[in-house]
Chains A and B, each alone.
Chain A
Amino acid sequence: MKNVVTVKEQLTSGTNRRSFLKISGLTMAATGLILTGCSDDDDRGTTPQDNQLPGVRNGKFDLGGGDFGVLTYAYALEQLEADFYTRVVNLNNFGTLFNSTEQQVLTDLYRHEVIHREFFKTALTGALPNPSAQLLPNLEFDFSTVNFGSRDSILGTAQALEDTGVGAYNGAGRLITSADYLLLAGKIVSVEARHASAIRSLINPNSNSFAGDDIVAAGNGLDTAKTPAQILPVAGTFIATDFTAIYLT
């Protein structure tokens, strides 16, 4: 089954982009994915085939299938996280909006996510047969829904990104066929979970929110695991570049 993720058209006018996003971006993406709703109950990643490599198809970049598809998907999510924290730590009011503990956490997260992004870029460039055509380009982001003057808005967004990252990696593990790539994803996902825990503690100190019942199922103690079809509409709310994920099932 194929999923088409239409996040939004790329517009040249920054002013128009916001309104366009609100009108069609999210809804279109979410609707498309829900309607095609892929089930991966018994699917595993398939051996990457030439026709499933990442690259432009029908005018849009497709993340591809197989292990390269999963890595490209992770690269897209790490681009998103890295871009967000880059904006946060460069805010003029970063030093007044956040106390020293919060600044330390956010600075660490900025560094970790940029390292993850550059890691995937390097790894994919080295592994893809033709990286000039198959490496996901630098995505454009739209954080217009985030109030960068608000501590709560920034930390709330950070929590959503980190929890989403954990669920994405947990759900994508089964799609990976290479034990080496699986281990690399595993090395990163636990750091994302450490991040999520830290941000949650900043938002709700003196609580059990770091692994709260809203994210770790109270019945069995399991964290979330989500399919790309579940993740991309959520991540897509911040991604301005149009791309597809036809083979990522």
Chain B
Amino acid sequence: MNILKFIESFTDENFMKSQGSRRDSFGQFGQVGKNMALASIPFGLAAFANKTYAADITATPNTPVGALQLALTLEYLEDEFYRLGLESGVIPPGGRDEKVFMQIAKHEKSHVEFLKAGLGANVIAKPTFDFTVGGAFSPFTDYPTFLALAQAFEDTGVRAYKGQAANLITAPDLLTAALQIHSVEARHASEVRRLRGLKGWITGNQRGAGMPAPTQGVYDGEEKTDQAGYNTAALFGADAGTEAYDEPLTTQQSVDIANLFIV
């Protein structure tokens, strides 16, 4: 089955109306092979399908509270992912990787607590996550997959927070706190990318060697070289120009990525 045909079938109306969990839906394509199926679904399309499932989150409002709620969802996701990763034993013990992920896990846990406290009555409940995406990924038994998802989550976090900055412009204290989390996510992203043998910064819209195709949605748009009319490729070419700037994700784009892991 070619990819275009697969996407076509994925957006088929009957498929959209079909009942059942996403896990079941992937099961319908069992004969294709789950890996093949998953590799063919960009994050954006996954969100299209998500509309049929009540558990998925919807776009948060363009307000300071909405911005923090989206941030909390992403922090819930990261916090649980790293906690499960550390508990699973998938991370090689005793070396650099374990030190790195213990530090990252500590920060994500703190971010959850910080945002919950900040949101007060507006706090949202933790969604139920499935980091295997219906069995297609094995992040807690396969370390390269764990690393790949970690990179995707951290690079997503950087872009998602950035996309919420404008929603926080009327709340300077919250904006400052969000920026203070945003740069920590960027420190994390840089380090995780190095653990995977990549540069700490994003070149063009390249997701990087070894990253599963479904993570491409995390990197689309990063190829931008026009910054307020300045051509960032002018001096050293497009690679350096795009590396020098991280691009935002919209609220919907951020939600779409999170929803892939929410059941």
Contacts and interface: CB of A to CB of B under 8 A. Distances in A.
Contacts, number: 191
Interface residues of B, number: 59
A216 to B, nearest CB: 5
Interface in B58-97: 95-96
B245 interface: yes
B186 A225 contact: no
A169 B99 contact: no
Interface in A24-58: 43-44
Contact of A194 (B109, B176, B187): B187
A197 B200 contact: yes
A119 interface: yes
B187 A221 contact: no
A14 interface: no
A169 B108 CA distance: 22
Interface stretch (B138-146, B209-217, B236-244): B236-244
A179 B248 CA distance: 13
A123 B229 contact: yes
B162 interface: yes
A8 interface: no
B172 interface: yes
A230 interface: no
Contact of A193 (B99, B190, B227, B228): B190
A122 B230 contact: yes
Nearest to A206: B96
A4 interface: no
A171 B120 CA distance: 24
B180 A223 contact: yes
Interface residues of A, number: 58
Interface in B3-41: none
B247 interface: yes
A186 interface: yes
A207 B98 CA distance: 9
A211 B184 CA distance: 7
Interface string B204-238: 00000000000000000000000111101011100
B201 interface: yes
B240 A112 contact: yes
A178 to B, nearest CB: 9
Contacts of B243: 108, 111-112, 191
A208 B194 contact: no
A187 B166 CA distance: 12
Given A189-B179, A220-B110, A194 B190 contact: yes
Contacts of A219: 110
Contact of B182 (A119, A123, A186, A224): A186
Contacts of B158: 190
B232 A189 contact: no
A195 B187 CA distance: 8
A95 interface: no
A196 B169 CA distance: 26
Contacts of B176: 170-171, 173-174, 225
A174 B95 CA distance: 39
Interface string B172-196: 1101110111111111111100100
Contacts of B180: 170, 222-225
A39 B201 CA distance: 34
A194 B186 contact: yes
A111 B237 CA distance: 10
B181 to A, nearest CB: 6
Interface string B148-171: 000000000010011001100100
Contact of A196 (B187, B227, B235): B187
B104 interface: yes
A14 B17 CA distance: 76
Nearest to A208: B103
A43 B173 CA distance: 10
Interface in A184-221: 184, 186-198, 201, 205-208, 210-212, 216, 218-221
Contacts of B175: 173-174
Interface string B45-58: 00000000000000
Interface of A: 43-44, 104-105, 108, 111-112, 114-116, 118-119, 122-123, 126, 166, 169-171, 173-174, 176-177, 179-180, 182-184, 186-198, 201, 205-208, 210-212, 216, 218-225
Q: Enumerate the 3 nearest inter-chain pairs by beta-carbon distance, A residue then B residue, closest first.
A: A221-B110, A193-B186, A208-B103
Given A170-B179, A174-B176, 11 more contacts: A173-B165, A173-B176, A180-B228, A182-B169, A186-B165, A192-B183, A194-B189, A218-B106, A221-B111, A222-B180, A225-B179
